[in-house]
Amino acid sequence: MTHTRTIWEEGREPGSRVVALGVALALTVAVVDTLVAGRIELLFDLCFVLICVGVALLVRPSDFFSVGVLPPLLMIGVFVLFALSRPGSIAGHGDGFLQAVVSGLGRHSVALFVGYALSLGCLAQRRRWVARAGR
């Protein structure tokens, strides 16, 4: 009898590759959302949550930590880059660098919370599955 792999067993990519993919996807979505809407809005939020879940499912079990800390660092990194280049896309047009980063985090905190919670939930389920399969 052949064993079909579940979604919890599929992730086999190294953490560095998965982190690079997450960064590239988040920056791409942020740029596209800015080009379409003029600022970072709902498209980024929805894709951010999907990126968080996707990287949690792609990473190999030995690299869970790198993905476990990724969502807040990823969002802060994107907002730092946008605060340096286009602060009006994440905050008011007169806001300075730090205010733009804080405003961006505040406006997108729900997406950060949901993405982080789902990512950690996926990693916990995968860890449980790996422990069960190892017995």
User: How many C-alpha atoms does 10 have within 13 Å on its Cβ side?
Assistant: 11
Segments making up each domain of the chain, as ranges? 15-134
pLDDT for residue 30: 97
- DSSP 3-state of 96: coil
Q: Which residue has the tokens 């929805």?
A: 46
- DSSP 3-state of 60: coil
Which pTM does this prediction carry?
Answer: 0.92
Reported as a single tens digit per residue, the pLDDT across 51-93 is: 999 999 999 999 999 999 999 999 999 999 999 999 999 998 8
